[in-house]
Amino acid sequence: MTHDRRLQWTLARPMTCEGIGLHSGARVRLEVEPAGVDHGIAFLRTDRPESRPIPARVEWVVDTTLSTTIGRDGLKVGTIEHLLAALWGMGVTNALVRVDGPELPILDGSALPYVEAIREAGRVSQGVERRGAELDRSVEVEHGDRSLLFQPGSAREVTCVVDYGHPHAGPQLFEGRIDEATFVSEIAPARTFCLYSDVEAMRRAGLVKGGSLENAVVIGDDGPMTPLRFPDECVRHKVLDLVGDLALCGFDWQGSVVAAKAGHPLHVELARRLTALARPTERTPHAISGR
């Protein structure tokens, strides 16, 4: 199917995924359902009858500690960035995510299982243009030696640099245009990662209770403890996280992003700034047709 990013798209039928939450360690099941025009992406906690949908928008973010968490009325849904990246990368603009716990499943640590589930469910054009937003100025956010720079443009391009000061996780660079083909082949398969020396501290902080070599790349003194999918898998996963977090803008941003040692807090801050600066654009008088 030819995918036109000018249009709104939803799933042809529901898709489901089950697995362990990376930080909670809890077994969780999610179902992503088709949704109507202008619905956007939203999450609903099905284990709590009193819950209301939580829009996947930056104003609902409540935590960015090693993942991105949104919340409403005291209820939270965490580790949403991989699914959001998959939906954004595949152009799905409208969907309701029903999840029976406080965190999405980590699956294999990448966005690839979500991409495959979206492909299996199928996508349907809704024949209406996406919500547009005009960004006509550069935006930069910084914290120490970490930074993000957005510059308006006609394409979606990312340059990302990381350096963890480790013999097997030193400087890595990714540069490329983020279209659907590139996202699926070069970004979506990259898994979450950590240094083995950091694992104990994260566990003492109550995190990574569900982490294992099945869902993360752990880098020890002698190198990665599981085979890598890419020699530079770390920086590619950072691009994946960036794409997922910028999906919280709620519109299809266009331009270039340069990221230096950035993470979820800076990603979300950039999304916040872009959302505040963006000027809505009018749709054309007649909806574009097509599937």
Cα 205 → chain centroid: 23
Nearest to 93 by CA among 19, 32, 144, 164: 32
Quote the pLDDT of residue 278: 87
Cα 60 → chain centroid: 15
Distance CA 39, CA 111 (A): 23
Which residue of the set 143, 264, 267, 286 is catalytic?
264
Distance CA 62, CA 278 (A): 22
State the amino acid at position 16 in one-letter form.
Answer: T
Mean of pLDDT values over 17-30? 95
Query: Quick check: 287 pLDDT over 50?
Result: no
Domain ranges, ordered by start, for the chain:
7-132, 133-279
Nearest to 229 by CA among 275, 191, 175, 179: 191
Quote the pLDDT of residue 116: 98
Strand locations in 228-282, DSSP E?
255-260, 279-281
Which homologous superfamily is 7-132 in?
Answer: lpxc deacetylase, domain 1 (3.30.230.20)
pLDDT digits (tens, 9 = 90+) for 34-78: 999 999 999 999 999 999 999 999 999 999 999 999 999 999 999
Nearest to 4 by CA among 85, 92, 86: 92
Using only C-alpha atoms, what is the Rg of the chain?
18
Distance CA 127, CA 143 (A): 42
Model confidence band, residue 3 (pLDDT cutoffs 50, 70, 90): confident
Q: For the chain, give the number of residues.
A: 291
Quote the pLDDT of residue 158: 98
Distance CA 98, CA 30 (A): 5
Strands 139-143 and 156-162: unpaired
CA angle, 37 then 43 then 47, to 5°: 135
| Span 133-279 CATH architecture | 2-Layer Sandwich (3.30)
CA-CA-CA-CA torsion sign (22, 23, 27, 31): negative
Q: List phi, psi (to 5°) of 137.
A: -145, 155
Residue 101's H or E segment, with its range, is none
pLDDT digits (tens, 9 = 90+) for 143-176: 999 999 999 998 899 999 999 999 999 999 999 9
Quote the pLDDT of residue 291: 40
Say what the alpha-carbon torsion angle 276, 279, 284, 285 is, to the nearest 10 degrees.
90
pLDDT digits (tens, 9 = 90+) for 193-250: 999 999 999 999 988 999 999 999 999 999 999 999 999 999 999 999 999 999 999 9
Verify whether residue 286 is a known catalytic residue: no
Quote the pLDDT of residue 132: 75
Give the CB-side neighbour count of residue 143, counting CA atoms within 13 A.
10
